[in-house]
Each structure stands twice: as structure tokens, then as C-alpha cells.
């Protein structure tokens, strides 16, 4: 996993934080598939993910429209439903406008 | 680690993504101390952190002013300098305005 090579702000971040439940059947495959699928979406700019007790996945998007389009993707909607009902005991999704960034890469 | 119990948006997120280098002397102690110190700052709303190859720490703040104030904290500035020069081979900090959130907690 590398630090996402995002363009100059402004752009959007979707911060998805989760705690997994016990029954994780099909979870890893679906997570991999969602990454593959997200990368094919219009407006996708990159993502970063780590799990260690809590899971944090941040995906980066060009604008709110591309986030909405991805949210309405059928396969993604089915995966989210399973996540909500089965895989996650708790989760939070935050939609945020990246105003500024800096670092060394 | 729990999902941060943040208030209703809008509020700010500082998304800090990093890759650690080899020489990590003093790193864990400083990381713990920075969490302790951040929690004492005016405007601090919570944080979430996971490391697994890449490290992602998201801290939540009331407004840009509280982020700026924390950035100017002397002990934090010294820690950031060490992180930049010694502990991190790469990092990126993104300042983002959380416009919307949802989930189950």
C-alpha cells in the first residue's frame, strides 16, 4: 500500500472507519472486488487502507457527483448492505472536502 | 480503538497517512504522547488510527483555528520535525472539511 498520489486540492475524501464483527464469510473477496471496481469509476483519485483493531479506508474523489455515482453502483450497494447487516458491528462514513495538503512522498 | 464519537458536521478532519522508515527509536513513546497532548487541545473532537503497512491517523477538530493552534504547539512541532527527518520515509497530511457523515455505532 502506498500513499495515494492525489492531485492538487480541492478534491473529496470519503473516510470509512469500521469495526468488523465475527462472521466474515466473503468479506475479503468483496473488499478486494470493491477496490478493483472503485478504481474503474469516473472521478476516482486513489485510496489508502489499514486495519489494526479498527479499519480505516480513505478513498479520494474528484467531486461529490463521482462519490454519488459510486454509491449508486449496484454491486457496491449490495456489498454495503452485507457490510451493514453482517460484516461490520459498527462503521462510520464521513464525506469531506480536502482543502489543503502537504507532505513528502 | 473505537470509532470517534464526533458531533454533527460540519467539523474538520486531518488525515495523516505515513510510511515509517527503519530507525524508529523513540517513535512509539512520542506517538502516545502526541495522542495524550492532542486530547488536551481546545477544539479536539476525537481520533482514529490504524497501521498495517501504511499508517492512517485521522484526527477531528472543531475548526481550522484549533488545527492551527495544535500545529503551533511546541512539543508537537518538535515531534513533527523528528517524524519528517527520521521516522517517516513518506507522509501526507490532508486538511478536510467534513460535510456529511452517517453510519451505525
Answer yes or no: is A2 within a domain: no
What's the pLDDT score for residue A103? Answer: 96
Answer yes or no: is B6 within a domain: no
What's the pLDDT score for residue A56? Answer: 98
Percent of chain B at pLDDT above 90? Answer: 95
Domain that holds residue A85: 11-98
Among B3, B19, B99, select the one facing A92 at the smallest CB separation: B3
Order of strands, sheet of A54-61, starting from the edge strand that comes earlier in the sequence: A44-52, A54-61, A11-20, A88-104, B88-104, B11-20, B54-61, B44-52
Distance (Å) from the alpha carbon of B73 to chain A's nearest alpha carbon: 18
The total number of structural domains that make up chain A = 1
Q: Please list every residue in chain B whose beta carbon sits closer than 8 Å to the beta carbon of residue A98.
A: 15, 94-96
What's the pLDDT score for residue A68? Answer: 97
- State pTM to two decimals: 0.96
What's the pLDDT score for residue B23? Answer: 83
Answer yes or no: is A4 within a domain: no
The average confidence (pLDDT) of chain A is 96
What's the pLDDT score for residue B1? Answer: 86
B6-55 pLDDT per residue, tens: 999 999 999 999 999 988 999 999 999 999 999 999 999 999 999 998 99
What's the pLDDT score for residue A105? Answer: 83
Distance (Å, whole) CA A102 – CA A42: 25
Coil, strand, or helix at residue B33? helix
Confirm or reject contact between B92 and chain A (CB < 8 A). yes
Answer yes or no: is A89 within a domain: yes
Distance (Å) from the alpha carbon of A40 to chain B's nearest alpha carbon: 23
Mean pLDDT over B75-85 rounds to 96
Which CATH number covers residue A84?
A: 3.30.70.100
Q: Give the H or E element holding residue B92.
A: strand B88-104
Q: Please list every residue in chain B whose beta carbon sits closer than 8 Å to the beta carbon of residue A55.
A: 50
Please give the average pLDDT of every successive group of 10 residues along chain A, which has 105 residues: 96 97 92 96 97 96 98 96 95 98 93
Q: Please list every residue in chain A whose beta carbon sits closer than 8 Å to the beta carbon of residue B48.
A: 17, 54, 56
Answer yes or no: is B5 within a domain: no
Amino acid at each position: 500500500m502506498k500513499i495515494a498520489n492525489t492531485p492538487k486540492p480541492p478534491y473529496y475524501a470519503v473516510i470509512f472507519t469500521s469495526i468488523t464483527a465475527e462472521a466474515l464469510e466473503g468479506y475479503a473477496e468483496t473488499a478486494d472486488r470493491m477496490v478493483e471496481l472503485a478504481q474503474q469509476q469516473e472521478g476516482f483519485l486513489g485510496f489508502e487502507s489499514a486495519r489494526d483493531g479498527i479499519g480505516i479506508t480513505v478513498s479520494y474523489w474528484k467531486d461529490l457527483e463521482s462519490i454519488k455515482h459510486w454509491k449508486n453502483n449496484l454491486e457496491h450497494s449490495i456489498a454495503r448492505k452485507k457490510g451493514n447487516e453482517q460484516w461490520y458491528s459498527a462503521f462510520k462514513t464521513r464525506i469531506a472536502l480536502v482543502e489543503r495538503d502537504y507532505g513528502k512522498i
